[in-house]
A and B are shown apart, each in its own frame.
Chain A
Amino acid sequence: MTTDEFGDRRDIPGMIDAWDRVTGAVPFTINQEIPGMLHAKLVRSLSAHARIAAIRVDRARRVPGVVTVLTGAQLAARRDISPYFGPFLRDQPILAENKVRFVGEPVVAVAAETIESAEEAANLVEVEYEDLPAVFDPVAAFEEGSPILHEEPPKMSSLFVDVTMRNRVGTNVANVYSIRKGDIEKGFAEADHIFEDVFSSPAVQHVPLETHVCVASVARGSITVWASTQTPHVVRAQLAEIFGLPLSSVRVIVSTLGGGYGAKTYPKIEPVTAVLALVAQRPVRLHLTREEEFVTVTKHAATVRMKTGLRRDGTITARQSTAYFNTGAYADVGPRVIVWGGFGQGGPYRIPNLFVDTYSMYTNTPPAGAFRGFGINQTAWAHEVHIDMIAERLGMDPLELRMKNVLEEGEAFATGDPVENWHSKELLQSVAENIGWTYPVAPHRNGSRIRAKGLSVSASRAIPLAVSTAAVKMNIDGSVNVLSSSVEMGQGIQTALALLAAEALTVAPSQVHVSEVDTDVTPYDQQSSASRGTYSMGAAVQAAADEVKGQLLQLASEELEVSPADLEVVAGHVRVKGSPDRCLSFSEIVRKSRSGNLMGQGRYRAGGALDPDTGLSLGPGPGHWHQAAGAAEVEVDIETGHVDVLRFNAAVFAGRVINRVQAELQTEGNVAFGVSQALFEEMVFDHGQLQNTNLGDYMISSIKDMPQQLNVTLLEYPERSEIHGVGETALPSIMPAIANAIYNATGVRVTDLPVTPEKVLRGLRLNGNGAS
């Protein structure tokens, strides 16, 4: 029996804590305070690449209320601290030690009784820099003779097994991922046409409205941090490495986040807050300003050079593609992003001969990290604009060209593993029908405004070898606690887990409470990212609930003196099949058996390891293929270059939807993100100095930028019972669909995001058909 039949699932609001969300009572980490807590402020580098010649902190120390002024050199001199961190390469100093590598890098940390004192002291720190040659572009950073950011080999981190590190010491290459599939020369020999294009996308900001915040408390060999992180167990592990403590002595507590989108994965400000707390011997709070947030983490800028061979009929025979991802000054998760950015260059297409090289490049810009869409945004931007350009050169319908080449069930993905539950064709068909796609494209002109439509399709692979664990407790009254380290950040994971546990145990969702994250209590989870929470943690919770159900059956069988095989679980009771009056409630079972409470644990492990040499899968994939298609209708004003997205159809494969309103919200949110990145988001640097450091100069989509009509299609096959996360699935398909529509309206082909009015007007002028 499901909770639907149980009757009250529909009574659950879109989110279990909806009341707190509309009354402002949600306990964000910014609310966290501890008695005696100090406030921290960071002094940040003014130079993109420089030796630190001198740091003078005397005046800062004399500011009333200042407790600690800490430099990188002081940290390096301590024996109780290993002052570097990073999830793959421990290359990032907590505070710059001998040199700085980007404008905005933390150099000195101040802790004081008030934020005003901390700010005043930070302003009085003097740092002398001896500038070094710097490099900002990932392709330039690859060239011989480029300034080198990291001369010494960094310590490796052993946190993750899914990525093979091939960093090249003494160069700017933080990692390389290559695919060697089929025979690339034979593939191009079989082609009638070969097309090569270059695409780029800029660094952009995640802009969680809650910036990074951390409160740390250090006492007698143990650390507690309250952090706004999507990766509590990674933060715990890295703090344990820094402080030389067992994992059990580091406690990371995460309440709900005010947005994440990838920005809050992996350690960011937690290490510096914790070392300040250690040195000051007082709890410390650090909360970044928006300007600081802008130089803390970005999306990878990327340049992709893509060459594709096709037969006359449009069948793809080969693709050779090279991508340079700008990882910034420190690797962060760049070494993993390029794996997605690597197989992402194959897209959702059948490409028998594929030759890909993808580089994670150090440059003197702020560290780039995980960003919603994880490497697929940059590569779908390339392959979806590329395929439209190819269709035009071949005189083919771009829908037909896609339909001819997208993968079908069981065929080999770019990584060689067969795709399962694969629906690219259906998704494409759905958005094309919804938007009213026709070929040839028929732009509609009304005065200076021209309307047209564009399409795209995208796909991604789940994180291989990832692990989620969960525990389920049934209390003596039959109510249920779910213990999970999945971080609630607005995606609704707590609600989804409550619904899944309720369903598995046939209790009302209101009887289930899902914990916040506390690594002292909640079991291991790799991370809350990559659209993996609902399926991965969901599977762990279901397994844990099933274990509790098994215990209930066993205990009831002893009490009722009936074989477990003759019992059934119905609506919070165990009863004898065929004799509904011989029945025990869950509460009675726990009470009569004097169990105190019942406890079950569950685990989900993904497969899908990749061969380090060929980049190909060593066995079955991790499953859970993210698939999306998008269709846009835009209106371009050729006098101003202004673009309105009139309509957007976003279709994602959703398997079995657990919480419909949340699945819709996430996909609508992807469209808000995508429209914004398609049309205006770009971090602009001048010699490494960010020019648009705030939400006045850096535009994100407002309510007025949303398509007038937005259709979300959640493609479901509920009978297969497969649960799919949709947190980022739609995003990569949105930017190219809009750009393709703009081309179809105006004939202006923009290959570097964002498609600004300036670029549209310049293109119109070059084409000789713009307004004078």
Chain B
Amino acid sequence: MGMERADRATKKTKGTEAAVTSEIVAGPPIGAESPPTELAITLRVNGAEHQVRVLPGHTLLDVLRNKLKLRSVREGCGIGMCGACTVLVEGEPISSCLQLAWMAQSREITTVEGLSQDGQLHPVQQAFLDKTAFQCSYCTPGFVLATVSLLTSIEDPSTEQIKDYLAGNLCRCGSYVKIVDAVLAARDQGNPRKRHSSTASPVDERGVHL
């Protein structure tokens, strides 16, 4: 329930916390009196490099959505509780509303826009489509990415494991029954890693398209 969800959200952001402690020395001046100055950073998103100018306080969500116009990345709560803004950083799902953009430099970021290739849906997207595992679909990109991560990190997950893993993504329309169906279908179709290693579409070790 609620507590478990909070734990999950915390777990999701652990990577971010680690990044804070390890990289803060290289970051922008903090607590300076002058107005915040823009930083020029390079983000690696969906296999392409983007030079963008950001404020130190800009979140990854701000930059992906508003500067790079990746509209699948959507704010739902602003505090890492709902999962609507989930993106993969180095294959790990994180809440992009909690990640400062400059801290994501030099990491491989994946949004749903980077999943489908050459007019072909990613198997997880295809499963969500086949099962109609959505209503308004505002949360769908977050669920799809969390599922991609789930299926690459847990082999043959049980229904309980699926629910545990996806507890940090909220669907207010309540399409949960069909979301579980879709994840099970994607699982039974084979682990995306294995599936993709036998196709022409290149994927990295986390099952993400390169």
Report which A residues bind B (CB closer than 8 A): 13-15, 18-19, 21-26, 28, 30-31, 116, 206-210, 256-261, 289-290, 489-492, 642, 661-662, 664-666, 668-673, 680, 694-696, 699-706, 710
Contacts and interface: CB of A to CB of B under 8 A. Distances in A.
B140 A259 contact: no
Interface string B64-75: 000000111110
B30 interface: no
Given A22-B129, A289-B78, 19 more contacts: A18-B134, A19-B129, A21-B134, A23-B115, A24-B141, A25-B71, A26-B137, A28-B71, A28-B138, A31-B71, A209-B172, A259-B173, A642-B1, A664-B178, A665-B175, A666-B135, A696-B6, A702-B169, A702-B170
B72 A24 contact: yes
Interface string B5-24: 11000000000000000000
Interface string B132-144: 1011111111001
A261 B135 CA distance: 12
9 pairs of A and B residues whose beta carbons are closest in the complex = A24-B72, A672-B174, A14-B132, A490-B136, A490-B135, A258-B138, A669-B174, A21-B137, A695-B81
**Most chain-A CB neighbours within 10 Å: which of B125, B136, B169?**
B136
Contacts of A209: 74, 76, 82, 84, 136, 138-139, 170, 172
A19 B121 CA distance: 9
Nearest to B134: A21
A694 B77 contact: yes
A23 B113 contact: yes
Contacts of B5: 699, 702, 704
A668 B141 CA distance: 20
Interface stretch (B100-108, B160-168, B192-200, B201-209): B160-168
Interface in B101-133: 111-113, 115-116, 121, 125-126, 128-130, 132
B113 A24 contact: yes
Contact of B173 (A290, A669, A703): A669
B169 A661 contact: no
A531 to B, nearest CB: 14
A704 B4 CA distance: 9
A23 B121 contact: yes
Nearest to B82: A695
B177 interface: yes
Nearest to B2: A699
Interface of B: 1-2, 4-6, 55, 70-74, 76-79, 81-82, 84, 111-113, 115-116, 121, 125-126, 128-130, 132, 134-141, 144, 163-164, 166-180
Contact of B140 (A24, A642, A702, A704): A24
Nearest to B183: A703
Given A24-B72, A259-B173, A703-B180, A492 B163 contact: no
Contacts of A21: 129, 134, 137, 140
Contact of A695 (B72, B125, B170, B171): B170
Contact of B1 (A28, A258, A671, A699): A699
B83 to A, nearest CB: 9
Given A258-B138, A695-B79, A696-B6, A13 B167 contact: no
**Most chain-B CB neighbours within 10 Å: which of A25, A671, A695?**
A695
B77 A290 contact: yes
Contacts of A491: 135
B113 A704 contact: no
A672 B132 contact: no
A22 to B, nearest CB: 4
Contacts of A290: 76-79
A706 B177 contact: yes
A208 B172 contact: yes
B63 to A, nearest CB: 13
Contacts of A210: 74, 76, 136, 138
A706 B132 contact: no
B140 to A, nearest CB: 6
B191 to A, nearest CB: 20
B129 A258 contact: no
A412 B28 CA distance: 72
**Most chain-A CB neighbours within 10 Å: which of B4, B73, B137, B139?**
B137
Contacts of A256: 136
Contact of A22 (B2, B4, B70, B137): B137
A289 B82 CA distance: 14
A18 B132 contact: yes
Contact of A670 (B74, B171, B174): B174
B144 A704 contact: no
A23 B112 contact: yes
A694 B78 CA distance: 9
A18 B74 CA distance: 18
30 contacts: A18-B134, A19-B121, A22-B121, A22-B128, A22-B134, A23-B112, A23-B121, A24-B70, A24-B73, A25-B71, A26-B137, A28-B138, A116-B55, A209-B76, A209-B84, A256-B136, A258-B137, A289-B78, A290-B79, A662-B132, A668-B178, A670-B174, A672-B176, A680-B1, A694-B79, A694-B81, A699-B2, A703-B180, A704-B1, A704-B4
B173 A705 contact: no
Contacts of A700: 170, 172
A30 B74 contact: yes
B77 A703 contact: no
Contacts of B173: 259, 490, 665, 669, 672
